[in-house]
Structure 1
Amino acid sequence: MSQPQTIEEYAEGLAGQGRELFQQVWALAHEVVPEASEAIKWGHPAWMHSSGTILFVVSTHAKHANVTFTPSTREAFDDDLAGFTTGKGSVKLPYDHPAPDDLLRRMMASVSVSTNRLACCGCDDRGREAKPVGRRVAVGIPARLLRRSNFSVTGH
């Protein structure tokens, strides 16, 4: 079977609870980030900001789905995610539990606002300026990680 080329094709390949949960997340994405474009990235549905930044990705598995945000977005909701299995940026949603619509809605909105701010004024959520160095940009990277890199970060 070939890889899906569109989110519609991805959804058509799903069945049962996986399809139900995916369609629920897809509907939330349309509600919360209607301006986001949809694409297949790494074989999974992704929602992207107009700047090309990936807002979040959804992957479906045998017994659960993962919604993967940036690690900072996931970390911002640590208290709300206490009952969920999480990864660096991912939230595991078991099919045998109701999807946390309100929480996903808030997480989608949060990453969208953060990305809009970065794209608009070049700042992260803490007001730190992204300063290009060569072909790369760093935002909010701790100084200890910058010592041997080509990045610099300034606050304002």
Structure 2
Amino acid sequence: MSFELIAASAAITLALVFYTVGVFSERRSSSLKLSHVIMFWCGLVFDTTGTTIMTNIAQTSGATGFGIHAISGLLAIILMLVHAIWATATYIRRNERAEKTFHKFSTLVWLLWLIPYIIGMLVGIPMIHLQTVCAVGTATLVVAAFAFFLLRRGAAKHSDK
């Protein structure tokens, strides 16, 4: 495995860690804190870094085209950027109503970001190496299961109040 591939995989995995910790600690605390905003920005930086390295690897290996993984990855980075900017603005404004809306958006962005992450794993790990169509379907099913679990937990949490 090349150094570039290790660096890209590590960066994208760090993005997963920062983003997941940021989103779920924000969900748990029900308030947006500076530490959450910092984690969102760190997730964006690491994801962008890893994606840039992966793009360079693909270009130097002669890969052509702009497949579903690349498109979904680019959309995920754009969503993460919007999310980080919105988190920063919401944190600075300290508007309670905006924070409630932000909490829902935060989970949605995390779920959507997870799709290209899982696709990349399923296509890129040699022992798994699914075809793109199968990887997209599998990633979508995994994220749908996460969404179902999170929505169910959220509904149960609100019915207890």
Give the TM-score taking structure 2 as reference length.
0.31
Q: Which has the higher contact order (CA 8 A, sep 6+)?
A: 2
Instruction: Give 1 or 2: higher strand fraction.
Output: 1
Instruction: Give 1 or 2: higher helix fraction.
Output: 2
Give the TM-score taking structure 1 as reference length.
0.31
